[in-house]
Each structure stands twice: as C-alpha cells, then as structure tokens.
Structure 1
Amino acid sequence: MQLGVPGWITWMADLVPRQIRGRYFSQRNRFAGGFAIGVSLLGGIVLDFFREKDSAYDGYLVLFLLACTAGLAAFFFLGKQPEPPQADPQPLPPLSTYLSRPFQNKNYRRILAFYLALLFPVGISAPYFSAHLIKVLEWDFRLVAATSIGTSIVSLIVEPIWGKLVDRHGHRPVLILCTIGITHLPIYYAFGPYDLYWPFFANALLAGAFWPGLNLAMFGLLLETTPQEGKAGFLAVQATLNGFMNFLASGLGGILALWLASVHFEWNGLLFNNYQILFFLSAMLRVPSLLLLLRISEPTATRTYVLVRRAFIPLDRTISFGRHILAIPKGKASHIKENKNFSDSFAGQISTGSVISPDRQAEQDQTRSSDPDQ
C-alpha cells in the first residue's frame, strides 16, 4: 500500500488548489470518518456473533473478505477519476541524486526528524491499546468498538475546524497544538484503573479531537514544503522512512512486551502490567518530538498564540467568554486599573472620615432639619 503513497500525494497536489487544501481534505476525512463509524459498529457485532459461537477466527475471515471487496471497489472508482493534462516528462536524474536531494533541504530534514521522532513512540504502543482492553480489562468487542466510534464522532466535528485553521493560520501552529494534545494520551491507559471506563473513553475522545488536526496539518505541510519538481522523490523518501520507523517501533514494542510479560505489580492502589509500561514509555518519548517541531520553519504561518486567541473569537461572540479568558486588551486593562485605584482611594477616605458616605450624609441632613437651633 505504501508504494502508491508518493504518487497519490503528488496527484492530490495537482488536483486540489493550495488555497482550499485544508478545507477539502478535512471534508474528505470527515466523510471517511462518518463511514468508519458504521463499519466499526458492524465489525464489533460480527466479531461478537462469531465469538459467541466459539469461532472468532471465522469472524476475522469474514471481515478481511469484506475489506478486500471494498479495496477492489475503491480501485474501480479511482480509475474513473479524470486527470489534468501533464507537461512533457523530464528525464530523471541519477538514482543517487534523486534520493539524496531531499536531505539537502534543511527545512525538509527538520520535518522528517519531527515526524519520525513522533512515529517511533506511537508505534511502540499502538498495537497494544486494544489488547489491553480485551485481554486485561476483558472488554467485549462492542465496547471496544464504542471507543472507536467515539473517536470517529469527535473527528467528524473537529475536521472542518482544523481545515479552516490550517488554511487561515498555516500548518505549523496547528501541528504544535495537536502534538501537545496527543503527547499525554497514553497516560490514560497507563494509569487508568481497571474498574473505570471514563479514562479510556476520555482517551478516545481526545484522540478524535487532536489526531485529525495533526494528520491534516502534516499532510498539508508536506505538500507545501516539497518543491514541485521532484516532489514524488521527496515523498517517496518520507514514505520509506515512515515505513522503516513503524517497522522498527512495532518490532521493539513487541520485544519489550514479551520481555516485560511477567511484570505485574501494584502501586498506590493501581495495578500495572507490561502493556501499561509501554504506554507510559510512549507518552514520555513523545515530548522530544515537540522540541523538534519548534525548529520547523513556515514563513507564511501565524504564531501559535495568535491562532489560539483568534480561535476563541467565535466563542466570544456567542457566550462572551473566549477573549476574556486569554487576555484583556491594553486599553481596557488600564481602565479597570484606574477604576480599581479610584475605588480603593474612595474607600480609604470614607474610613478616615474625610469623605462622608451617602448614608451618613442623609442622617446628618435629617438631624439638621429636626434641630430648631440650626
């Protein structure tokens, strides 16, 4: 499947105008996510049906056959997509030059370093989230599918939001926000009590909120930063390194899971096993990727704090909350400070008697009117 990724991404760069890429791909992912909700629910029902008949392997076989059928249908529709006319192909440079050219681009090297540093900890723990729910917590497949459905529902809601933010503010600030958001996600599994459901569903909902933004911004950043000439080579190098990193991370994760299989202990009233150690390790190893992300340059992008403040403007218009929680404008802040100083000064004069309060003034006026000598 990875063989077709560079060609498909290059094709999408030609088909989709730069100005609407964020919104277009967010809508595309939104439709795909909506379909995934129904498919996840159907898959859970099918697996539970065959599991009750002690033939779980037959259930997996049915799902794999359905997946192959869907893949053939996708191939058919892909062939119906019209393609814009292409210029005359240029002769390819030597293979060594073709493969080394991406590494001569400083900013592209930084993008690769960030994404590979993020893929490694993600790949270590990714295969074991469902295994922890099914084998350790003994959840049924319907409940496991419910977490995926929750993730998909949140993705449907936030995809258009991330698309608009990418188009308006650039890819880098969205990547920073979403990387911060996904860094702590494995902690919910690492320290989630076995008898509670909410930490695992909270993980699913937050994953649905932040992963779509990260994937969308990363995809757009690759299209934006790679040159038009030789774009396929840049993307091929990136896809190759991604595949190698996923292979390395999943292999290391499997070795660690087997090596720690006998580890079971209790700490502070919580039970821990080998999977949870991997989850904690994954969360800690995601932090350095954020530091590498800060080194990426995108001249047309706004600063992250600007994106955050402007993202609160629609909320401020509806419930008058957004901008006030972030900052008070300078003029308003000085006005509030002057009012506060005046109030403190006025209260001090009342306490010393230099200024008479309204209640005391009314009392003195009433005394004067009742005294005949005055």
Structure 2
Amino acid sequence: MFTTRNSLNTIELEKSLRNITIDGYMSQIMVVLSTGPFLIAFALLLGANNFLIGLIVAIPSLLQVLKIFSIQLVEKKRKRRAITIFSLILYRLSILSIALIPFLFSIKFGLIFLIIFLIIQSVFASIGHTAWASWMHDTIPINQLGAFYSRRMTLSSLVSLFASLLAALFIDYFVLNKLKQQIYGYSVLFFIAFLFGMISIYFISNISEPQMIKPEVEIKFLRTISQPFKDKNYRKLLIFLGVWSFAINLATPFFTVYMLKKLEFTITLVIILTIINQLTIVIFLRIWGRLIDNFSNKSVLNLCCPLYIICIFAWTFTTLPGIYLLTIPLLVIIHVFMGISMSGILLATQNISLKLAPKGKGNPYLAVASALTSLALGISPIIGGIFADYFEASELSWTLNWASPNGSLSFQTLNLQGFDFYFLFAFFIGLISLSLLVKVNEIGEVNRKVIIHELILGMKKTFSGLSFITGIERMAISPKSIIYHPTKSKHKKKGIKSLKNKIK
C-alpha cells in the first residue's frame, strides 16, 4: 500500500492529480465546517473571552512550528504517504472529539477540552502537512504548479461555499427558534466535518508517491534545517513571509468576532459575506494562476499585498461609531477586494516557497518556511487577544465641525474603537512587509503595469459569456489539460514576451 516509485508515468500522474483534486473537495468541506466562523462561534458559546479566542486561533499556527522537527521523521522514514495518512487520521479523530464536547463536559470544562483537542489536532496536522508538502513537491510537475493549484483551490472553494451556507442556515435555525440546544448544532457540523475528512483519506491513499531523492552526503538534522537560512535569497523570502503573516493575522482572525460581537450579525450574514469573499477568490484563482505561470509569483505579490492591507485599513470605517447606512455595502466591497488580493497571495506565497527551494531539498526548505510563517501567524492573534479588553474601552475620533451665523454642522469622519486599533496596527506592519518583498529575487519578475494589463485581459475573458462555467466543467471532468498541450504554453510565453517589449 505504501510502496514508492522511481518516477510516475503519464497514467499514474493523471490518476494522482485527479485524486489530489478530489481530496481538495473533501478536505475543504472538513476545514470550512470545523474552523473559521463556526469554531469561533462555538468557542463564544462555551464562554471564551478575547484572549481565549486569540489563543484558539493561534494554536494551529503555533504548533505548525513542529514541522521543523517533522523533517527528521520524514527524512528518516522516507515514507511520506504513510506518515501523511496516519497523521491526518488522528487529525480527523480530534475533530470528532470536539464534536462530542457538549455531550461529555459542562460549559466550564468544555472550553478546556476544546483547547486540548485543538492542540492534539494541530500536532498531527503539522506532521501530516510536512510529509504532504514534500510529497506534492516531487509529484506535481514544477511548470504546472500555478495552474494545478489554482484549479484545485477553485473547485474546492466552490464546493465549500455551498457547504458553509447550508451550515450557517442550519445554525441560525436554532437561533431564530430560540432553541437552547444551539451548541449541539455545532456538534452536528463538526461530526459532518469528520465524515468528509475520512472520505478525503481514501483519495489521499490512492495518490502515487515518487521516491525521495537521496542526498549525496548524509546531513545532520541541525544542518538540514539551517540550509534555508544559508540561502541568501530564501532567507529574504522567509523574513518577508514572517512579517507579512504577522501583519495580516493580527487583524484577520478577529473579523468574525468583530461582526458577531460588535456588529451583532447573525452567523448566516457572516457566512454570506465570507461566501462573497470566497467566490471572488474562486473567480480570480484561474487568472492569478495563469499570471504566475507566465510571469512570476513576486510580480503577483507586488500587486496583491498592497491591495489586501488597504482592505484591512478600510475595516476601520465600517462603524462611525456604530452601524450606519454604509456599513454593509462597505463590508461587501471590502470582502470582494480581499478575495481578489487573497487569491493571488495564497497561490503566489505557496508557489514561491516551492519554486525557490532547490530540487530534491524541498522538504527542509518548505518545512522551515511553513514553520516560521506559522509562528508569526500564531503570535499575532495572541497579542491581539491580550490587549483586546484595554483597547475596547479606548476611543479615538475625528469630527469635522462647521459653524456659521445660520447654525452649525458636525460630521464624524473617523472613529476608532476596540478592534479598529488592531486593524490600523496591522495596516502599518503590512506596509513594512512590502519593503521586505522588494529584496526577494525571482526569475520572471515584470513591471506592475504588465501584471495590471494582463489582469484586465484575464478579467474580460473570465466575465465574458459562459467561459468561466465552461472552464469549471472541464476542470471537474479531467485534469488531462494540466499535463498536456505544451505547445500552447510556448506560444503564450512568446506572446507575453512581445507584450513586455511593447510596454517597456
């Protein structure tokens, strides 16, 4: 069952890519039902305060640091499929344990066991994802990474959108009918997430595994994990990813808390806004995927990162100081542009970590990148949670006053309270991270004008007729187009080179 192959032939590669794609559907449903708004709302029902919310959000990221130590296990056993399957099964059993909390424990102890089960879940997720990343690094053709991952993420996101909306309506049924058993509704969601997670294991087990490339010289563990830091360019990438991750996760995890507590939105309205965001991500994944393959990851990041931090800053204008006429329209606009930018960021950060890692040494490079990014992602929400109560009692406002003989007029242009300070702080740290991105070198980098031009062309193609729907159907039926048609890609690159010369 866990045999490896020297190399994968065309049939094995096609079958593996299909199973990777289907696993994306199943695992994405599992994730969307057991994390994000549903997990935060579940924790709030158990009585979690701002600090505990920050801790709950931080646990999965902080324990991703274990990926560094997982390298040793992967390098020693060299059976990535076996390690992945074993670890991810235990990950899914932890989700089942969380589903049983309301049935086994009181609210007082429920929160404690929620944290314990999340820690266990995150430990095995860290081990499993380390083996998975190395496995995929050697399985998916390097020149198709952008296109393949954009297709996989597109289809997975579409499936998860429907699942999340149905789940939100299911939870709000308990709320609208004032049922005291609302917390049991979340248990049902987590149990369904567990079932889809186990289905994904079946497809993962049917993915072929190429043999790991053996290093010419046996390298000790500490020397192995130090390799990425000795690579000057990769070290610059690690610094950027760390600062960027800290900036966005200082604010992003609290968007849901902000809407549920301060704006007092229903879980359905929160999920609808999330769906708007995810739909935008789905639409633009294909566009960014093509641009990454034709140009570079850094070129896409140069456009997407500034747009995302502007969206974080825009959250400070959603209340003046409470809900007002433009609150919901502004939130819709913010979620749309966050989706546009995040789709490019997700693909580009994942692919640039793969691309800049030397062939055959992907395991330590990817593990260190993931671990440092996760450390930054974990520290920031804890810092946010610690100071939440202090800032919640603070306020900074800016009011314009007009006085004349006929009367006076006051207009409040800015009002910062509570989480608004985090959003503003995250915005400024995000600006700092942009200066660090400039120092990273990647082959294929082009001027931002070229990317904007190609982005507009991609948007026109996507939104014209039914081309988007047709593309989704083709992707769902067969991944063959990911492997074949090398001639087309060559023509595209020639056309793009001429475009670059014209713009220059």
Tell me if TM exceeds 0.5.
Answer: yes
Q: Structure 1: how far apart are the matches of 2:197 and 2:416?
A: 40
| Structure 1 residue 137: Cα displacement | 1.1
Q: Structure 1: how far apart are the matches of 2:210 and 2:218?
A: 21
Q: For residues 31-76 of structure 1, what are the alpha-carbon distances to aligned partners after superposition, in whole Å with 9 as ceiling and x for unaligned?
A: 0110121122012112212223133322222222222222222122
| Structure 1 residue 89: Cα displacement | 7.0
Q: Percent identity?
A: 24
Which residue among 253, 268, 273 is the counterpart of 2:384?
Answer: 253
CA 314–246 in structure 1, closer or farther in 2 if over 3 Å, else same = closer
Which residue among 235, 257, 263 is the counterpart of 2:366?
Answer: 235
Please name the residue that 2:434 is paired with: 290
Alignment of 1:10-29 (within 5 A): 10-29=134-153
Please name the residue that 1:3 is paired with: 127
**Contact 2:291/2:454 (<8 A) preserved:** no
**Contact 2:287/2:459 (<8 A) preserved:** no
Please name the residue that 1:278 is paired with: 422
Q: Structure 2: how far apart are the matches of 1:308 and 1:89?
A: 42
Q: Structure 1: how far apart are the matches of 2:304 and 2:377?
A: 20
Which residue among 42, 50, 60 is the counterpart of 2:186?
Answer: 60
CA 93–131 in structure 1, closer or farther in 2 if over 3 Å, else same = same
Please name the residue that 2:446 is paired with: 302
Q: Structure 1: how far apart are the matches of 2:158 and 2:141?
A: 24
| Structure 1 residue 266: Cα displacement | 4.6
CA 160–53 in structure 1, closer or farther in 2 if over 3 Å, else same = same
Segments of structure 1 that go 5 or more residues without pairing to the other structure are: 319-328, 331-374
Q: For residues 219-266 of structure 1, what are the alpha-carbon distances to aligned partners after superposition, in whole Å with 9 as ceiling and x for unaligned?
A: 111111001232211111112212221221111011121222322465
Moved more, 140-149 or 86-95: 86-95
Please state whether the residue corresponding to 1:197 is helix, strand or coil: helix
Please name the residue that 2:351 is paired with: 220
The answer to whether the aligner puts 1:244 opposite 2:345 as a matched pair is no
The answer to whether the aligner puts 1:47 opposite 2:171 as a matched pair is yes
Please name the residue that 1:151 is paired with: 277
Q: TM-score, normalised by structure 1?
A: 0.80
Letter in 2 for 1:172: K
Please name the residue that 1:349 is paired with: none
**Contact 1:27/1:160 (<8 A) preserved:** yes
Please state whether the residue corresponding to 1:272 is helix, strand or coil: strand
Q: For residues 314-355 of structure 1, what are the alpha-carbon distances to aligned partners after superposition, in whole Å with 9 as ceiling and x for unaligned?
A: 67999xxxxxxxxxx89xxxxxxxxxxxxxxxxxxxxxxxxx
The aligned length equals 320
**Contact 1:123/1:253 (<8 A) preserved:** no
CA 276–220 in structure 1, closer or farther in 2 if over 3 Å, else same = same
Segments of structure 2 that go 5 or more residues without pairing to the other structure are: 1-124, 400-411, 463-501
Q: For residues 277-300 of structure 1, what are the alpha-carbon distances to aligned partners after superposition, in whole Å with 9 as ceiling and x for unaligned?
A: 111111121101111001110123
Q: Structure 2: how far apart are the matches of 1:305 and 1:7?
A: 38
Letter in 2 for 1:105: D
Letter in 2 for 1:272: L
Please state whether the residue corresponding to 1:284 is helix, strand or coil: helix
Q: For residues 70-112 of structure 1, what are the alpha-carbon distances to aligned partners after superposition, in whole Å with 9 as ceiling and x for unaligned?
A: 2222122211112235556766411121121110001111111
Please name the residue that 1:200 is paired with: 331
Q: Structure 2: how far apart are the matches of 1:232 and 1:34?
A: 30
